[in-house]
Structure 1
Amino acid sequence: MSRNSNLYEAVGGEETFRRLVDTFYAGVATDPPLRALYPEQDLEPAAERLRLFLIQYWGGPDTYQQERGHPRLRMRHAPFAIGVAQRDAWLRHMKAALDSLELPPTYHDTLWQYLSGAADALRNTPG
């Protein structure tokens, strides 16, 4: 499935992405090494940014761009040391969140392929 075929609507729109991100951040909150990458006491602003980004990326409203401009993911993540351990922890929690949605395999696999590729692309330290 290509991004242009509007996966956003196909998987249930905002509610599905809200559940994905909320479940993901519930895992982040209980993972001290990963939680250390999030400087804000309250994880909700980070959750809202991820939710809006994913919604826009997959064909929903462009609220992320309106509020924050171009995503510039590598630049926005550059201040944080993201190595293999951080990437793997992020992916572990994201996989659990994605699996909890019980999406049809085509949609699950499309999302997972993107999320795992993005996580790897954001690594900025060798370890």
Structure 2
Amino acid sequence: MSKPVVYIASPYTKGDVAMNTHFQCKTFDTLLTDGKVWPIAPLWSHFQHTVFPRPYADWIAYDQALLPLYDACLRLTAHLPQVGYTQTESSGADGEVETFKRLGKPVFYSVEELYRWVDSRNAG
């Protein structure tokens, strides 16, 4: 069975955008290194936005348009304990979760929960 493509939904505009982006890139790297899923890091748009700024609504529309392409969603709190940073709230990520649920696709709230699902898919 091929690896599922998993969208990482985490805070961006609430809290510190640089910390939030760092967290998501760190999560992407962990998921890619572990090799169980193909992760998608939508906050890479942060770097595109620094060079070619667009209205926030454009980024939300872009992400929403692509969500049907992915197998699952990983909704996380941005947490960087080494610098004492935590951000949970995210209207964008919560909207993405709602889209995944409406599409009947699974949403996970921890990497461990996601990996249990992947392992159960591979076992069956």
* Higher normalized strand content (fraction of residues): 2
Q: Could you say which TM-score interval applies, normalised by the shorter chain?
A: 0.3 to 0.5
TM-score (norm 2): 0.44
TM-score (norm 1): 0.44
